[in-house]
Chain A
């Protein structure tokens, strides 16, 4: 695949915390518009991949590319040499990426609408009216048109997570990262969030990278599933294939434990 058709490329990426290696020389490619789900036991490095992409962590070694261009690194003074990216380099590129967190992370002192318009107004430079109009559309899309003036703390977990999805989409990201977005929810609230995400996946051509334990959701939205263990990809394949007839013993054991 030509590199410009790749939304994301991890080139031998290693992430260590102290002497603990979370990712070990990982190679990973995600095509533009592709939906990829990462599964595996906790501590296997899935969430770290999302956090590295969102620049919440820095790589220890290796390079992350976005759309064929270095992202975690930038050209250094010597020709052909890459150096760790400056804050400026990251800031100019990371707005293509949006992220939804396990714990929602809404701004508790702002209304639902203010949460959604904050970044479009102050990052994309949209006018308040324009951003407000689009925020209402997005809140309508996630089924919360009647909650625009509510405080997040007054909403259920499922509603808060749907606001967080609208907030991420308001930045018109090319890539959306979903980090165990239903793990903090009461079981009866999981479906409403997943339905919204299925809808987003169907209506847009956004590149999706999700970490989830919801195998039904993974099957519905993913083109490809990657099974992780100890910082390495154990197995990867089309969603139904990997879920129904895993090749690796490790994958079988894991799928058995989450069903």
Chain B
């Protein structure tokens, strides 16, 4: 049965966990955005000897489960605390997806834009920085946002390497107070309250960019 008192007691604990979840998501997504862009650029414009192995490694990370990667990193990488390691693994995992998103964005920039750059003799670096990437990123803002939301919903996996994010905290509270129903319901509600408006915002953005 629903115990209102237990739920009230669980609320601050769950919210504190939410803070950790949010920070982890923001940091990991920052890692994913920067690394994803680097991966996309190396595969598209880098030397062959680098592009090929990078493509292979990214494909490998993309096709193995995040959970396994977390455990593997936890065992194999010494000297990093759990939150840092969790953020890095999550960031690298998503970077491999975002690199594909960036690739689509780069391919969506018409050839005519590249030709205009050649006709103006713009140096390669400047072409990427000033002409191609601004247009490419704008074209993929909606999928980037969707990945941010889905990463947010995957951060509970960090609990397996003892990161005290929201679901971890809800679980601990549930076991000590025997109030799983209340603590997990609260955690679910917080996820919903955070994800849903974000998805709506992304859909609005998508509609606005469409014309």
Residues of chain A having any CB pair with chain B under 8 Å: 54-56, 91, 94-95, 97-99, 101, 103, 105-109, 118-119, 122-123, 167-168, 171
Question: Chain B interface secondary structure, helix, strand, loop or mixed?
Answer: helix
Residue numbers in B under 8 Å from A171 (CB-CB): 120-121
Contact status of A109 and B121, CB under 8 A, knowing A56-B115, A101-B115: no
B135 touches A95 (CB 8 A): no
Q: How far in angstroms is the closest Cβ of chain B from A174?
A: 13
Determine the chain B residues whose CB is within 8 A of the CB of A55 once the complex forms: 118
The yes or no answer to B189 lying at the interface (CB within 8 A) is no
How far does the Cβ of B137 sit from chain A's closest Cβ, in whole Å? 10
A122 interface neighbour in B113, B115, B130, B138, Cβ under 8 Å: B130
Q: How far is the CB of A235 from chain B (nearest CB, A)?
A: 29
Is B116 a contact partner of A106 (Cβ separation < 8 A)?
yes
Q: Cβ of A123: which chain B residues have Cβ within 8 Å of it?
A: 120-123
Docked CA distance A54–B116 (Å): 10
> How many pairs of A and B residues are in contact by the CB < 8 Å rule?
54
Q: Which residue of B lies closest to A56 (CB)?
A: B115
List A contacts of B131 (CB < 8 A): 107
Q: Does B119 contact A (CB under 8 A)?
A: yes
Neighbouring B residues of A103 by C-beta, 8 Å: 112
Pairwise interchain contact B113-A107, C-beta atoms closer than 8 A:
yes
Name 22 interchain pairs, CB-CB below 8 A, sorted by A: A54-B115, A94-B121, A97-B119, A98-B120, A99-B119, A101-B112, A101-B115, A101-B116, A103-B112, A105-B116, A105-B119, A107-B113, A118-B120, A118-B122, A119-B120, A119-B121, A119-B122, A122-B122, A123-B120, A167-B120, A171-B120, A171-B121
Give the distance in Å from the alpha carbon of A130 to the alpha carbon of B134 in the complex: 25
Residues on the A chain within 8 Å of B134, using CB = 109
Neighbouring B residues of A109 by C-beta, 8 Å = 134-135, 138
Q: A105-B112, A105-B113, A108-B135 are in contact. Are A54 and B119 (CB under 8 A)?
A: yes
